[in-house]
Structure 1
Amino acid sequence: MTPNNLRRLRQAAALVLLACALGGASAAAKITIVNTNEPGVGFNDPTPVAPIGGNKGTTLGQQRLLAFQHAAGIWAATLTSKVAVRVGASFVPLACTADSAVLGSAGANDIFADFPNAPKPDTWYPSALASKLAGVDQADPGEPHIRARFNSRLGLFSDCMPGNPFYLGLDSKHGTQIDLVAVLLHEMAHGLGFQTFTDGQSGERAGGKPSVWDHFMLDNRSDKLWLAMDDAERRASATSGDGLSWNGANVSGAVPFVLAPKSNLAVGGPAAGGAAGNYDVGDASFGPALGMNAVTGQLMPVAGQAGSEGLACTVLNEANALAVKDNIALVERGGCAFTDKARHLQQAGARAMIVADNAPGAVTGLGGEDPTVVIPAVRITQQAGAALKARLLAHNGTASGVVASLGINPDRLAGTDHLRRLLLFTPAEYSPGSSVSHFSSDAKRNQLMEPSINDDLKQALVPPFDLTTPLLKDIGW
């Protein structure tokens, strides 16, 4: 997902006030959807559809609008404001290929500083939050506080992830489809203020002023806030891997009640040599989660097989099956889905699977879904994989002398720094629209405001499930 990190966005087209307002006597805020689509497309698409998952719309456009109203209602019940929040929304063609797509984008339509009752002087606030804090609408008459666009072609055309459209139901029973409600909740959060207006790629502040975000982003290596950094320091912090933490009291207080201990690979044994030690791992979205009772066994490599496009991409031959039986299998990424590899290793009797990345980079998880996989699986970096494979060269076919133990580190929470402050997404290669303005993808449980939508998200915005609302409270909601 890519938020529109624009300081000001004006569109000349007239806004068509089509939607209803969410909120009222039973809700703490009101959110009004402003339909900016032309007739016959987007929210106005007349394509007939069958009701699904509590969404009673009978056309594609109606179901899109009802899903939007449902998501807006969840946010309206979570926030407080005397000023109704207007969301200018549309479904339009966005960047797409057969294998990937931009799901949506959203951001503040305008930003304000030094308005009445502004908590922090000389600081940019997004339009909706500035209006809430001032108690009076700061936006120009008729202008939305939030601009949002979503991909109208997703799954419906051969060049845009064919067969993978948005799930338009309201019940989270999306299976392998992309849950539109979760995407809507994510993008609306950006528009409400889950973004910085300081350019992470250049380090430059908008109009020379910091964003309210900059008051809470802390470089955990130097203990300096973005507020106190120069442009070069902010640029380095934005590509630090795991060097940027959120320092807000509401998030930090909720972290222990939301996030789980960090997964860990411990390596030892008589043949481990210099590879002995602890390794960070990325968790799989399939199979059992790691816990206090570690899964332990000798680490064994899987060799290539004739007719297989990648390691463990087909049923294991006799030699490979003998090697991994009752052991932990080490394979390299590539050639087939992670779930295929895990299933073949499980069939051969492996206790667990470790996937070494085939390209440099930080630790990430393993995607996929297969309820038949019942062994744990994790991912390690290419560098870690090379170190372990070097110690396995002398294995005898059934034993290696290198012992792997997959469990958790109870002293560290996944997605946090050494002081349990939540990490922000700052990959080594800056990703426009994703870097800095998202939570780290290492968080466990998965969070709504990670840079991609995970399959296990609930329609929840507060602890013990999610940290999005605590962050918005930190900046003033």
Structure 2
Amino acid sequence: MKAVNSLRRMAAVLASSLASTLAFTLAGAGAAQAAANIVIVNLNAPGVGFNDPTPAAPVGGNPGTTLGEQRLIAFQHAAAIWGATLDSSVTIRVGAGFVPLACNAGGAVLGSAGPTEAWTDFPNAPRPSTWYVGALAAKLAGEDLTAPTDPHIIARFNSRLGLFPDCLPGSPFYLGLDNNAAGQIDLVAVLLHEMAHGLGFLSLTDDETGALFLGLPSEWDYHLVDNRDNTPWVALTDAQRASSAVNWRGLSWNGPNVNAAVPTVLAPRSNLDIGGANAGSARGDYYVGDASFGPPLGTTPVSGQLMPVVDQANGAGLACTPLNAANALAVRNNVAVVDRGACDFTLKARNVQAAGAIAMVVVDNAPGDVIGLSGDDPTITIPAVRITLSDGVAIKAALQQRSRSKSGVVATLAIDPSQLAGTDTQRRILMYTPSIYSPGSSVSHYTTEAKPNQLMEPSINSDLEHVVTPPRDLSFPLLQDIGW
């Protein structure tokens, strides 16, 4: 039996960081009694984190009367959800605390979590010479393999979020338990996500170099498939693994539980078709990211002339203020093209909607792959999607020759019933493999193309529910695939 303490590697390999644009006193413990017993070990010193005495009014079913108490209750609530889902005779200990994490006025690290140990060749191990994270190894062995007071998972969350002017001001964690964050960052959703990483929803392999952890694969690696040739990660060389980790849409999860659940969870893929007399080389179909606000795309197409908003000196269109007369004329009864940046996606949508646009296409402002549009606004009644910067450049080139209200380039937005969002040609869910390697996020998350948004995408979306199972979510089926 072999174990390795992975705390030193947690920040680089085992922990997940969530970006928004957006230990050791046993000072208190909370337990969730269910199919698995999950105990929260309070790692905060007196007066901070879980012990912060700042008065707080009860919110969203959270009866706590101090900031620290509400944080702990939210944590216990998330633990109870996972505890009711998992099956283990061994108590799972989560060492947790709220501490200052990296942040600025425009974005913040929400939190991170990871297993403290990984084990091989323990009693009842399903595969020899294969890594299993500590909590899973204990479940499979039927006995605790760690010291009796040591946590199986270490988790930390941003204690300054939204509470200081230099840390995403105005966007604190929502501490309610009712899944009604209303534009705030839902702490319970963040906690469910991070606990999943600690339970084994992560790669132990060095995704940047492709090197196996201490020369051995983890159970995770047996279920990753390079879908270009359907080769499992365990059969690839280090260089091939590193290549697949930055191959957009090139890496899939292949496990019986996830594969069986995919058709019940994922919806048909959304599509942007560009046509019309002036489409030229931009003609064709494009992958898009869906908005969490406004009506979803359906089988009935939304189609119209594609017209750009131009309200910046450099030719960009941010649509962060009500459109002037020229831009309002351009987008009226047409599909508006706007650029990402400077304000919320919902504000852009409200402004083009007020000007009469029938839909909105947001062009990303940085290189990258397809991702959705976050936000929540029930007043938005037009569909909105997001495309990559490179696709936006190609489409905008076709819009150069246009009149004040017509471009001759027609955009059609609809779903493609023949394909499921976020899957490969065999309907296996894709993993997150952006072409620019993202430490802590690449490979260890589901694709951002999934629809509906999944808990285990690299960012927390506002439309998530406090659910980890089908028919809403694919988090638990993956954990089942690795042994839970």
TM-score w.r.t. the length of structure 2 is: 0.92
SS of structure 1 residue aligned to 2:329: helix
The question of whether the paired residues in 2 share the 8 Å contact of 1:17 and 1:33 is answered with no
**C-alpha distance in 2 between matches for 1:184 and 1:285:** 20
Map 1:87-236 to 2 at 5 A.
87-236=94-243
For each residue in 1:231-267, what CA deviation from the matched residue of structure 2 results, as whole angstroms up to 9, or x when unmatched?
1111111111211110011001101111111110112
The question of whether the paired residues in 2 share the 8 Å contact of 1:5 and 1:107 is answered with no
What amino acid is the match of 2:438? S
- Pair 1:443-2:443 in alignment: no
**C-alpha distance in 2 between matches for 1:311 and 1:156:** 28
Percent identity between the two aligned chains: 63
CA change 1:219–1:49 in 2 (3 A) is same
For each residue in 1:245-294, what CA deviation from the matched residue of structure 2 results, as whole angstroms up to 9, or x when unmatched?
10011001101111111110112222222222111111122211111011
Deviation at 1:374, TM superposition (A): 1.0
CA change 1:191–1:227 in 2 (3 A) is same
- Pair 1:303-2:310 in alignment: yes
**C-alpha distance in 2 between matches for 1:3 and 1:111:** 11
The question of whether the paired residues in 1 share the 8 Å contact of 2:266 and 2:451 is answered with yes
CA change 1:129–1:88 in 2 (3 A) is same
The question of whether the paired residues in 1 share the 8 Å contact of 2:310 and 2:316 is answered with no
Match of 2:28 in 1: 18
For each residue in 1:396-423, what CA deviation from the matched residue of structure 2 results, as whole angstroms up to 9, or x when unmatched?
3232222211001111111111111111
Map 1:282-297 to 2 at 5 A.
282-297=289-304
CA change 1:470–1:39 in 2 (3 A) is same
SS of structure 2 residue aligned to 1:267: strand
CA change 1:307–1:195 in 2 (3 A) is closer
2:371 pairs with one of 364, 367, 383: 364
CA change 1:470–1:163 in 2 (3 A) is same
The question of whether the paired residues in 1 share the 8 Å contact of 2:57 and 2:64 is answered with yes
The question of whether the paired residues in 2 share the 8 Å contact of 1:260 and 1:413 is answered with yes
**C-alpha distance in 2 between matches for 1:163 and 1:281:** 29
**C-alpha distance in 1 between matches for 2:320 and 2:92:** 51
* Greater Cα offset, 170-179 or 211-220: 170-179
Deviation at 1:126, TM superposition (A): 0.4
**C-alpha distance in 1 between matches for 2:421 and 2:94:** 33
**C-alpha distance in 1 between matches for 2:237 and 2:202:** 19
TM-score w.r.t. the length of structure 1 is: 0.94
CA change 1:3–1:247 in 2 (3 A) is farther
The question of whether the paired residues in 2 share the 8 Å contact of 1:201 and 1:235 is answered with yes
CA change 1:124–1:305 in 2 (3 A) is closer
1:343 pairs with one of 342, 350, 356: 350
Match of 2:19 in 1: none
CA change 1:60–1:412 in 2 (3 A) is same
The question of whether the paired residues in 2 share the 8 Å contact of 1:212 and 1:475 is answered with yes
Deviation at 1:85, TM superposition (A): 0.6
The question of whether the paired residues in 2 share the 8 Å contact of 1:7 and 1:111 is answered with no
CA change 1:18–1:341 in 2 (3 A) is closer
For each residue in 1:80-121, what CA deviation from the matched residue of structure 2 results, as whole angstroms up to 9, or x when unmatched?
111111111111111111121111111111010010100011
**C-alpha distance in 2 between matches for 1:278 and 1:78:** 40
- Pair 1:266-2:276 in alignment: no
1:325 pairs with one of 325, 328, 332: 332
Deviation at 1:159, TM superposition (A): 1.5
Deviation at 1:5, TM superposition (A): 5.6
For each residue in 1:341-384, what CA deviation from the matched residue of structure 2 results, as whole angstroms up to 9, or x when unmatched?
22222122111111222333212222233322211111122222
Deviation at 1:305, TM superposition (A): 6.5
1:387 pairs with one of 391, 394, 401: 394
**C-alpha distance in 2 between matches for 1:102 and 1:380:** 25
CA change 1:173–1:338 in 2 (3 A) is closer
**C-alpha distance in 1 between matches for 2:81 and 2:341:** 40
Match of 2:42 in 1: 35
The question of whether the paired residues in 1 share the 8 Å contact of 2:316 and 2:338 is answered with no
**C-alpha distance in 1 between matches for 2:446 and 2:69:** 32
Deviation at 1:128, TM superposition (A): 0.5
CA change 1:52–1:239 in 2 (3 A) is same
What amino acid is the match of 1:236? S
The question of whether the paired residues in 1 share the 8 Å contact of 2:368 and 2:436 is answered with no
What amino acid is the match of 1:398? S
Match of 1:245 in 2: 252
SS of structure 2 residue aligned to 1:106: strand
Deviation at 1:339, TM superposition (A): 2.4
- Pair 1:254-2:264 in alignment: no
* Greater Cα offset, 318-327 or 433-442: 318-327
* Greater Cα offset, 421-430 or 298-307: 298-307
**C-alpha distance in 1 between matches for 2:483 and 2:313:** 60
**C-alpha distance in 2 between matches for 1:454 and 1:311:** 22
Deviation at 1:451, TM superposition (A): 0.7
**C-alpha distance in 1 between matches for 2:380 and 2:352:** 10
The question of whether the paired residues in 2 share the 8 Å contact of 1:3 and 1:434 is answered with no
For each residue in 1:313-350, what CA deviation from the matched residue of structure 2 results, as whole angstroms up to 9, or x when unmatched?
33333333222221212233334333232222212211
SS of structure 2 residue aligned to 1:292: coil
SS of structure 2 residue aligned to 1:133: helix
Moved over 6 A (4+): 305-309
Count, aligned residues: 469
Match of 1:402 in 2: 409
**C-alpha distance in 2 between matches for 1:159 and 1:262:** 38
CA change 1:394–1:75 in 2 (3 A) is same
Match of 1:83 in 2: 90
